[in-house]
Structures are given as C-alpha cells and as structure tokens.
Structure 1
Amino acid sequence: MSKRILYLAMSLMLAFYAGAASAQQLSLAQISQYLNGLQTAQGGFTQINQDGTLSTGQIFIKRPGRIRFEYNPPNEALVLASGGQLAVFDPRSNVPPDRFPLNQTPLGIILQDNVNLGRERMVTNQTSDGTTTTITAQDPDNPQYGNIQLVFTANPIELRQWIVTDEFGTQTTVIMNDLVTGGSIRDQRFNIISEMRDRGF
C-alpha cells in the first residue's frame, strides 16, 4: 500500500471515530426533552459528601417538584421535596426538619415543570468525553443559589450522576445505581407534613 493511500485510509478512520465520539454528545434540547419526559424514577444512590464521607440509600423522583432520598443506616436521614419545599429530616435531632424553598436550591432546576436548558445563562458549561455528556446548570436569574452538574449517557439517554454546589460552595455528589424510570410512586412518599406528623412534630 502506498504512503498516500495509507494516509488517506488513516484520515478516514480518524474522521469516522471522531464523528462517532461527537455523535455521543447530547444537545441541550435532547437533555431537556429527556428530563421533561422523566415523570417517575427510582433506584439506589451513593452520595459523596464534601468531607469525603459516603452515604447510600434509595431515591424516588416524581416530576414535577418531588424527590425523596432515603438514607441507609447508620445515617437514616431523609430528604423530601414537595409543595415547593425541600425538607431535611435529621434522625439525631428532636426538632422539626429544616425547610427551604425548592426553587432556591439547584435541585429545583431539574424538578421544575418545564426544563428548558436552552435559556440564556442557564447552562454555563457543557463537555463530552465521547461516552458521557456533562452540563453545569444554574438559575439564570439567581446564580447565587448555586449550580448542578449533570452527567448523562446516550443510547439511551440516562441520568447517571449529579454534583450539587450550594450557595456556600459546598459540593455533594450523587451517583445513581440502577435508576428505573416509569412506574407508579405514591404521592404519600413525598408528603412533608405527613412525615412530620409520623415523627411526632
């Protein structure tokens, strides 16, 4: 094979692999469509905290506006979002949960009724390694609330991980384990008032 033909063949191969890799990068429209179509989901999760400690548990999502993190022992904490509120239950405390407006937390970005990542200043970074697409999103009107970095795979599109950076710069990583979409999840799982009543508050 002549050098010219060999060079041409190598160029075509490189172009093919580059095209295959770039084809794995998801567009913001594709990611928005995936999130808007994600009505319910549940599975396991592993959480990496700011101090490097690990927590595990089960996650339940029911869009719009609802999410539940059940932590395994010895943690046994509970985080609930519904009714526009995010509540953090600490089993070591005898006081009611800390509550925050959901739209003032980065999680509110993916739980809102209509996710539109194409909004100006919402996505501040987007990268792809040929296998995953990572975006960093914030509330474009209130960037001081922090941001959420989301990692997706393609074919099919799946949310695999996120990193929440809150208003104080604290980072929390959540890695999904066997997230199953679809199916029925009772609204009661996300009822903050009912959970408070069950815990004697």
Structure 2
Amino acid sequence: MRPFILPVVAALSIAAPAAAAEPTLDQIQAHLRGITTMTADFVQTDKAGKAVSGKISLRQPGRVRFQYEKGVPLLIVGDGKWLTMIDYSVRQVSRWPVGGSPLSVLIDPKRDIARYVKPVPSPVPGAIMVEGRDPKHPEFGTISIVFSKGNGPGGLALQGWTVLDAQNGRSTVRLSNQAYGTPISDRTFKWDDPRPRSLGK
C-alpha cells in the first residue's frame, strides 16, 4: 500500500441511474467548482485486489483528508498546496505538491480541466467518465473520474476515481454516502507528526 495509496484501482462497479443527456466538460467543471465541502465513505482497492475503507472530507480550495479505517496506520491530508501522507507504522511523512498529483483535477477548483481532461466511454451504464493527464508531466499519472446523476452541485455526484501511475500501479477509490455543503472544521486537516522533533514540520 505504498506510496500513492490514496487514489488506486481495479474496475469501478458503480450503481448509477440511467443517464439522460451526457453532461459537458463545462458542466463537470461547474460541479467540481461548486463543491464547497463534501464528506463520503470510501473503499480503496489496490492492484492486487486488497481493499481498505475510510472516510474522506473535502473542503475547497484544496483541503482534503483521507481517514483510513482502524488498524490502517496511514493518513493523507491536503492543505491546499501539499498532499501529505503520514505512515505512523514507520513514523514517515511524504509530501507532494498538489499540482504534481492526479488528484489536482478534483481538489484544485481553479484548474481548467478542459486542458487536461477528456470524456471517455464508461463501462457502467448511466455513469459519466472523464480521463485526465497532464501531457507536460506524464510522470504524474492518469486519473479516470466517474460521476453519476446525483445530489451534488449541478445535479451530479462524484462516485470515485481510478489512478494509473507512471509505474503502472493502479488503485480505485469508490465513494458512497456523499454529503455536500456540510460544515467541516479546520481541525479536520491537522495531523500529528510522528517524526522525532528535530525532523518535524
């Protein structure tokens, strides 16, 4: 489960209602920019089929927390500029700039997704899928994002995503129980540093 444990895959099997007209990229962009806050349960599956669950809290701009289930000693937090993965089992902290992560499509609302994202056929009836990559930085990997008609901004709901990294590592995150617009405290995006004091942030 290293190192980009947060967004990883198999095939998304998402139950989605039958779709009407397919949303445009502008509508998808409006949906992502319209998310002020979102909480959801998630199940993350790696290439080997191992699954872990947890809760995601997202607050724009750029703040996100992946709180894994009890017994998984990992935490991922985004503060708007950096994505930080804390591995409490080895007292290690790793960081990536938000712009260097495939998740920037989701957590950087100022980003023009039309420059990086294109619609692709969805294997799930009624689902809407887009695929994103930065052609200038293929090392950042590829993200496939799935939406359905739902209760989010613009009548859509973010259902999950799949990330394929430059080393062909795959992971899937599938969401459920999405709730939009609920208050999320600043404390949600704080974390305990497990490193010795001299190495701390």
The interval holding the TM-score normalised by the smaller chain is 0.7 to 0.9
For residues 8-87 of structure 1, what are the structure 2 equivalents within 5 Å? 23-87=20-84
* Matched residue, 1:139: 134
Aligned to 1:127: 121
Q: 1:23 to 1:199 in 2, by over 3 A?
A: farther
Could you tell me whether the CA contact under 8 Å between 1:25 and 1:132 is conserved in 2?
A: no
CA 1:83–1:197 in structure 2 vs 1: closer, same or farther (change >3 Å)? farther
In the TM superposition, what whole-angstrom CA distance separates every residue of 1:65-101 from its partner, at most 9, and x where no partner exists?
Answer: 1110011122131111114111111121133x11111
Per the alignment, residue 106 of structure 1 pairs with 102
Q: Take 2:19 and 2:173, find their aligned partners in 1: how far apart are those partners?
A: 26
Over the residues paired in the alignment, what is the CA RMSD in angstroms? 2.2
Partner residue in 1 for 2:143? 148
Q: Deviations over 1:31-74 (max 9, x none)?
A: 11000001100021001012210100010001121110011122
Aligned pairs for 1:147-166 within 5 A: 147-155=142-150, 156-166=155-165
The farther-off stretch of 61-70 and 138-147 is 138-147
Identity %: 27
Comparing both chains, which one has the higher relative contact order based on Cα–Cα distances under 8 Å and sequence gaps of 6 or more?
2
> TM-score, normalization: structure 2?
0.78
Instruction: Note the residue ranges of structure 2 that are not aligned, 5 or more in a row.
Output: 1-17
Q: Distance in 1 between matches of 2:104 and 2:73?
A: 23
- Gap runs ≥5 in structure 1: 1-20
- Deviation for aligned residue 1:165: 1.7
- 1:127 to 1:160, Cα distance in 2 relative to 1, 3 A: same
Q: Is the 8 A contact 1:160 1:176 kept in 2?
A: yes
Conserved? CA contact 2:65–2:76, under 8 Å = yes
Letter of the 2:110 counterpart: N
Q: 1:45 to 1:89 in 2, by over 3 A?
A: same
**In the alignment, residue 41 of structure 2 is paired with which amino acid?**
G
In our comparison, the structure showing a higher alpha carbon Rg is: 1
Equivalent-residue separation in structure 2 for 1:98 and 1:166 (angstroms): 17
Q: SS of the residue aligned with 1:195?
A: coil
Query: Which of 79, 87, 92 pairs up with 2:89?
Result: 92
Contact 2:91 2:195 in 1 (8 A): no
> Do structure 1's residue 177 and structure 2's residue 162 form an aligned pair?
no
Contact 2:19 2:127 in 1 (8 A): no
Aligned match of 1:195:
192
Q: Do the aligned partners of 1:25 and 1:130 also contact (CA within 8 Å) in 2?
A: no
Structure 2 distance, partners of 1:80, 1:189, is 9
